[in-house]
Amino acid sequence: VQILLKLWRNGFSLDDGELRSYSDPTNAQFLESVKRGEIPVELQRLVHGGQVSLDMEDHQEQEYVKPRLRFKAFSGEGQKLGSLTPEIVSTPSSPEEEEKSILNTPILIDDSMPATKIQIRLADGSRLIQRFNQTHRIKDIRDFIIQSRPAFATTDFVLVTTFPNKELTDESLTLQEADILNTVILQQLK
């Protein structure tokens, strides 16, 4: 952790923090530790035993002026609200892993016909990616899911498009007729 200690005429500050008075006993103890070349207890707690790089700037001819706050973009973690399926538990982190998720199941692709890739987000949080011909039917996607994950053979589920959400009820439609070429399909349990 890199920390900047600024010494002012009327106190000191850490990074762009508040002014700390020299007369406060806690602050005096902090500065004594720094003068002895030790890491103050406050900073040891801050870094949990990690390394601290303490730089100093001398501004003792100047009065402390509170710095303007700089805009800091949100760095927290977001959560989806109203998601139709659970968040993906594992996603391929490399092209090799993505290729592994394109399973070698008995989906026969006619290379002379136009093809498409469909990503299927399963209800268990995993995903499958498979090439289909544009003439394959929605029923072929259902069969592919059951062949890939036999546990879903006895489970009642529907296939849904992403935004705008539309349930794919007519499984006799081709992928082209259903307008789901190169899209993501969600599996929802009933």
Q: Which domains does the chain have, with CATH numbers?
A: 2-58 (3.30.420.210), 115-189 (3.10.20.90)
Single-letter code of the amino acid located at 94: S
Dihedral sign of CA atoms 54, 66, 73, 86 in order: positive
Q: Please write the tens of the pLDDT for every residue from 39-91.
A: 888 888 877 777 888 888 999 999 988 877 666 666 666 666 655 544 444 45
**Residue where the block lists tokens 């710095």:** 67
Question: Per-residue confidence at 23, pLDDT binned at 50, 70, 90?
Answer: very high
Residues 1 and 22: their CA atoms lie apart, in Å, by 24
Q: Please write the tens of the pLDDT for every residue from 110-144.
A: 889 999 999 999 988 888 899 999 999 999 999 99
Question: Per-residue confidence at 12, pLDDT binned at 50, 70, 90?
Answer: very high
Residues 53 and 166: their CA atoms lie apart, in Å, by 56
Question: Per-residue confidence at 101, pLDDT binned at 50, 70, 90?
Answer: very low
Residue-by-residue DSSP string for 38-53: PPPHHHHHHHTT---E
Residues 65 and 171: their CA atoms lie apart, in Å, by 69
